[in-house]
């Protein structure tokens, strides 16, 4: 299963080995959008914001409705805008700045702790920033990723524990962490639902041991 997932993820997103990492705050903002829309739409939304506003501080002092208008006319835009403005305001309150570039000077453990000081940043989102912005070889494990991994036979249970995160990481090569994580962002939250998973739309449906 890990081989099949890796093949699909790298085919869709590429290996991402030679990509230029985004600044930590840009990646954190993308992470917020990943949870409300697809990876492709989230990336487009980030670029639209960068074109429409001078900097993230301008977004911080803007009304969420104004930010949502830049993002999209889709229903997810308002939720994404509210989360973003809340994050930027809290970041400014906690760190007196609207950037996270200082994370590069910290150890991975220190950077994770610093990110988790923000109320909107759980461990899996912090790890996402470590992986995709700071090139730390860590595979994030959200509740949705753990649930999907369990259904695919990659984990013994569906809990997003540190133990399961380590077990999931061992199933993949380090180079595959980024595309595998993006796969979970696109499919675990949106298709592998807790009660009524949309198995017929899952690209790994034929390989899934619990497909309904």
Which domains are seen in the chain, by residue range? 2-17+138-207 (1.10.1670.10), 24-122 (1.10.340.30)
CA distance 147 to 154: 10
DSSP string, 152-191: TTSSSS----HHHHHHHHHTS-GGGHHHHHHHHHHHTTTT
What is the CB neighbour count within 10 angstroms for residue 108? 16
Number of residues written out for the chain: 212
Cα distances (angstroms) measured from residue 90 to each of 57, 61, 173:
12, 12, 35
CA distance 12 to 1: 17
| Residue 83: closest CA among 113, 112, 120, 118 | 120
What is the Cα 51 distance to its own chain's centre? 22
Global pTM value: 0.92
Q: What is the pLDDT along the chain (212 residues), one digit of tens a residue?
A: 899 999 999 999 999 877 889 999 999 999 999 988 999 999 999 999 999 999 999 999 999 999 999 998 888 999 999 999 999 999 999 999 999 999 999 999 999 999 999 999 999 999 999 999 999 999 999 999 999 999 999 999 999 999 999 999 999 999 999 999 999 999 998 999 999 999 999 999 888 888 75
Helix (H, G, I), strand (E, B) or coil at 32: helix
Report yes or no: 80 and 29 within 8 Å, Cβ to Cβ: no
Encode pLDDT of 159-179 as tens digits.
Answer: 999 999 999 999 999 999 999
The percent helix, strand, coil of the chain (3-state, each to 5) is 60, 0, 40
């Amino acid at each position: 299963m890990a081989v099949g997932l890796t093949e699909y993820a790298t085919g869709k997103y590429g290996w991402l080995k030679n990509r230029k990492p985004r600044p930590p705050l840009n990646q954190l903002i993308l992470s917020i959008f990943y949870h409300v829309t697809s990876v492709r739409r989230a990336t487009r939304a980030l670029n639209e914001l960068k074109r429409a506003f001078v900097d993230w501080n301008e977004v911080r002092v803007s009304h969420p409705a104004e930010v949502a208008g830049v993002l999209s006319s889709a229903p997810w835009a308002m939720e994404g805008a509210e989360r973003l403005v809340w994050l930027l305001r809290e970041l400014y309150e906690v760190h007196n700045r609207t950037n996270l570039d200082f994370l590069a000077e910290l150890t991975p453990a220190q950077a994770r702790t610093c990110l988790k000081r923000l109320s909107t940043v759980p461990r899996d989102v912090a790890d996402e920033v470590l992986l995709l912005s700071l090139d730390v070889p860590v595979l994030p494990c959200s509740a949705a990723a753990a649930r999907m991994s369990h259904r695919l036979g990659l984990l013994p249970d569906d809990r997003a524990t540190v133990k399961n995160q380590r077990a999931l990481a061992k199933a993949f090569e380090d180079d595959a962490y980024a595309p595998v994580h993006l796969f979970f962002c696109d499919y675990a939250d949106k298709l592998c639902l807790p009660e009524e998973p949309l198995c017929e739309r899952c690209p790994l449906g034929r390989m899934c041991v619990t497909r309904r």
